[in-house]
Amino acid sequence: MNAVGTRRVALVTGGSGGIGRAAALRLAADGMAVAVHYAGNRAAAEETVAEITEAGGAAIAVAGDIADEDAMAAAFDAVESAFGGIDVVVNTAGIMILAPIATFDLADLDRMHRTNIRGAFVVSQQAARRVRAGGAIINFSTSVVRTQMPNYAAYVASKAAVEGLTLILARELRGRDITVNAVGPGPTATPLFFNGKNEATVDALANAAPLERLGEPADIAETVSFLAGPARWINGQVIYPNGGLA
């Protein structure tokens, strides 16, 4: 029993927009109390919180750089203080910078890997210490780990690292009744996806999957909902919701 009755409690990093926002809304619709994490866009996070609470749910906004262990410890503390514990951690926060290996700016490489690798590690570390029995930890990768598209090398390198740490954490939490999985979306209609792409590129990616469309944030949130709730026998896996792309 926690501060919001029998509701389970979820923390969604990057929950102020895109896939993270869709995941926060879906978990709230599933009956969970939700902490909507943001790094810089407080207004967007509070809009998500307002949408959840207006629908009868329980939600708060929490802030912090996911790569800063002190900031994330404080964020986890805030969730536990508000709701009595944490059952589900969904780590969608990340950045994507695209360029060929030969010309990639190493400062951009360091910045992206700080968020995507160190950030995933910090969030996973806090989750491993705090998620209650029966809970779930869900990190985010990308289907490009499998499709291996040019210009994605630095981003894929960061997400392959996330997959590796996720699968090992699942084994390290033996006996805790906590599942640990990763979600690797295909092309999904979010601002992060559209950034820097022309219409022809978007159309080509939309038509690449047999279902001939881009994924929607709600499609990915459906997978998160499954892993966060009923999927108690799926553990130490990477799920690729991508419409059959690869």
Count of CA atoms in the C-beta half-sphere (13 A) of 241: 20
CA distance 70 to 167: 25
CA distance 159 to 131: 23
**DSSP run (H or E) holding 218:** helix 217-228
Place of tokens 């939700």: 34
CA distance 212 to 183: 21
Q: Is 152 marked active-site?
A: no
CA distance 82 to 73: 14
Q: Hey, which residues are catalytic here? A: 155
